Structure 1
Amino acid sequence: MLLEDLSPLIAATTQWLTGAYPPAGGGALASVLCEMQARQAVTAAAWLRYPTPMDAALVVVAGPGGSARLDWITGADGAGTAGPQAYAWRTWVDEVVASWAACLLTDPGLAGRAVAALAEGGGQAAGTPVEFRRLLAPDDTDRGAAALLRHPDLLAPVAALHRTQLRHLLERGSTLAA
């Protein structure tokens, strides 16, 4: 099982986050910078949640659960009027990964510990050169583009869903999903 096997989950969860907390200021650059930050947070969270090829294979078979609870918590309308096919990607959203990503985006200390755990723990990230600069050290342009995505008060309801589980995982120094 390769990292790419989590790509539908990472893409859908990133899309959900950037849809719920869109880039500030508009424009193509803001959209890209916001998405990059969300994708880095979601990638780190997914690799922590599904650290082994077996974990990744199981989530691909069972499915990650979808965005229904997240939509309800944030007041997002996941149904819409465009028909079910337009929202099929929402079935690939992982609530725990979205919650953990929200934690990483709003707590720099936790983000640093998570990336360090990935580097030390092997798992999905073993041998994969990945840079998490926009997650760990956003510059002023990054922060401006992702003002909503990084706002602790706005992300609090999503982050609170599974924050305790993430902290417990990082405190015990393991990247095994709880």
Structure 2
Amino acid sequence: MQADLSPVIAATAQWLTCAYPSGGGALSSALCEVQARQAVTVAAWLRYPTPMDAALVGMAGPGGSARLDWITGADGTGARDTDEHAWRTWVDEVVASWAACLLTDPELADLAVAALAEGSHTAGVSAEFRRLLAPDEADRRAAALLRHPDLLAPVAELHHSQLVAHLKPGQALIA
């Protein structure tokens, strides 16, 4: 049984960087990917907080990118059934939505990273999320699309209320 979330994290981060790519060269692409991976890691660790949760998603699968592709207009490329796109089956819609929220809302990102201290994923691990929490100018330029609130809104809004409820239990949700 697979108890780690690396396939979900890798596929969901790849989906985000394909849907909202960097406009620059290799360095910009790498900076954009790091930010996506950090946001997705935080979101996945929040969504699947225990080894049992991770093992269950590893067995059942996260659901794939079909709805996300449809929402962002990336559906209909015709190559979804090939082995080349098999990674898309490991994309987790909720994790992608939560990551989009974290990339566009610094307050939620701070709350999310703080909440990880209570989970089992960070036990004995020194996890740093600087590029998510405190992006510098190069990070912002590299991930201009990935951090644009209007562009990410359709994805972020899918499961925003669930993330807020998870991070701020008992508070009224404002849409």
Q: Report 1:129-140 matches (<5 A).
A: 129-140=126-137
How far did residue 81 of structure 1 move?
Answer: 3.7
Size of the alignment, in residue pairs?
170
Compared with structure 1, are the counterparts of its residues 172 and 85 closer, same or farther at alpha carbon in structure 2 (3 Å cutoff)?
same
**Structure 1 residue aligned with 2:173:** none
1:15 aligns with 2:14: yes
TM-score normalized with structure 2 length: 0.92
For 1:140, give the aligned amino acid. E
Pairing partner for 2:84 from 86, 97, 101: 86
**Structure 1 residue aligned with 2:101:** 103
3-state SS of 1:109 partner = helix
For 2:145, give the aligned amino acid. L
1:123 aligns with 2:125: no
1:16-61, CA deviations, whole angstroms, 9 ceiling, x for partnerless residues?
A: 000000012x211000000000000000000000000000000000
3-state SS of 2:9 partner = helix
TM-score normalized with structure 1 length: 0.91
Q: Matches of 2:6 and 2:36 in 1, distance apart?
A: 14
**Structure 2 residue aligned with 1:147:** 144
Q: Matches of 1:134 and 1:27 in 2, distance apart?
A: 18
1:49 aligns with 2:47: yes
- Asked if the contact 2:66/2:75 (under 8 Å) is kept, the reply is no
- Asked if the contact 2:2/2:55 (under 8 Å) is kept, the reply is no
How far did residue 83 of structure 1 move?
Answer: 5.3
* Structure that is richer in helix per residue: 1
Compared with structure 1, are the counterparts of its residues 82 and 155 closer, same or farther at alpha carbon in structure 2 (3 Å cutoff)?
closer
Q: Matches of 2:81 and 2:67 in 1, distance apart?
A: 19
Compared with structure 1, are the counterparts of its residues 123 and 78 closer, same or farther at alpha carbon in structure 2 (3 Å cutoff)?
farther
Q: What root-mean-square deviation, in Å, do the aligned CA atoms of Structure 1 and Structure 2 show?
A: 1.7
Q: Matches of 2:61 and 2:2 in 1, distance apart?
A: 17
Structure 2: runs of 5 or more not aligned:
171-175
Runs of 4+ in 1 over 2 A off after TM superposition: 77-83
Structure 1: runs of 5 or more not aligned:
174-178
Question: Percent same amino acid at aligned positions?
Answer: 75
How far did residue 78 of structure 1 move?
Answer: 6.2
For 2:8, give the aligned amino acid. L
Q: Matches of 2:7 and 2:51 in 1, distance apart?
A: 15
* Between 70-79 and 147-156, the greater mean CA deviation after superposition: 70-79
